[in-house]
Chain A
């Protein structure tokens, strides 16, 4: 039986699929499959962004964290006590949530990858091993940035929203926070790319693809930091009082 959460994830994935089909159909000059990847998940770059591309990027990468935050909000305002008394430890409960979230995020990245690949091939794009729109980007670097940094970015969003739900316990603030994350991702605000938002934009590797590993480092650093904050919040029982 499909629960409400799975239903939301399915609808979200359908949106992504439609977006990918729609963007691939519009001729933005993609020649190869990897060109299409580059265009689909361009997001932002240091030199700027297009509103349409960035909105699609935000739907893709903030979509699941948004579903997660609603689910988590309902949980802490509902059956939380009955779960905790059975898990007996906050760490076991949190680990369970985290593992499920990691698995879902991984699956979402995988599905997006397969979707884009299949749709690109179906629309007659070449399976050539190059990004013709940016000759300096190797497809392997593009895939790394899309998959690894994309995954780490989703985990970052989820952990940030987890912290905000714990601290504010008000859905209005949490919804507002999603908007703040969206705005913080704009290159004008994240000039030095030090905030863990939209760092997986393929636009960031347009000029210097060697920065992908720096982005990985930043995202991993923030994940550790967020986990430290969560550990403190769990220990203080802030989210259940």
Chain B
């Protein structure tokens, strides 16, 4: 089942032409990798998929199961996009509780469980401003998955993570994928892409091409 379909999309962003007639389909239950040099438009593509910015022409269709006609943004999307997902003067747990209170779908116990899963101590009084880069990244991952989101759009989810944390998060993403979640991620680390992705798209010359669709086993 195609959940996101991008058709003939063109986009100029901040006076730079990024995409010229791109077409991609993302199918349910797969892990997709999106690669390309800095500034090639990966984050912009993610923002367009989420509805935060609009394409100049063409269309991005989200399957009706995930897009309500009366809404501007898709439902059940867990995202990490090039901005901090937290308020630095609060603790990690307070931040997640605050975001979770918008939809009010999960309990505090569930938030604690997710924090443990990504490798964070929910009980710490440490404010996010004192977190390391890796801890902040784990917090971002926690908010993206905590409400059992079906589709995960993750821009550089492994940024700042140490080796052990990379292994933990890779394992977690594989686990979520086994449960049927669709994951679209970017990474500058080819090993992450090779280890996780079923299909890899590369942004090249304003277009998107499929580079490979094999998965390499890195002993997850």
Contacts and interface: CB of A to CB of B under 8 A. Distances in A.
Interface string A76-113: 01111111111111110000000000000000000000
A197 B147 CA distance: 44
Which one of B13, B71, B73, B147 has the greatest number of beta carbons of chain A within 10 Å? B73
Range class of the A interface residue count:
20 to 34
A79 B89 contact: no
A3 interface: yes
A96 to B, nearest CB: 9
B77 interface: yes
A241 interface: yes
B145 interface: no
B87 A88 contact: no
A79 B85 contact: yes
Interface string A57-79: 00000000000000000000111
Contacts of A3: 87, 89-90
Contacts of A88: 68, 71-75
A85 B73 contact: yes
Interface in A186-241: 237, 240-241
Interface of B is mostly: loop
B83 A89 contact: no
B102 A79 contact: no
Interface residues of B, number: 29
A1 interface: yes
Interface string B63-95: 000001011111101010101111101100010
Nearest to A77: B83
Given A88-B72, A89-B73, A90-B72, A81 B52 contact: yes
B53 interface: yes
B72 A81 contact: no
Contacts of B99: 79, 82-83, 86
B103 interface: yes
Given A3-B90, A79-B86, A82-B85, A240 B73 contact: no
21 contacts: A1-B90, A3-B90, A4-B87, A78-B84, A78-B87, A79-B83, A79-B86, A79-B87, A79-B99, A81-B47, A81-B79, A81-B85, A82-B85, A84-B73, A85-B73, A85-B74, A86-B99, A87-B102, A89-B70, A240-B47, A240-B52
Interface of B: 13, 47, 50, 52-54, 68, 70-75, 77, 79, 81, 83-87, 89-90, 94, 99, 102-103, 143, 147
For the complex of A and B, the 4 pairs showing the least CB-CB separation, nearest first, are: A86-B102, A88-B71, A82-B85, A241-B53
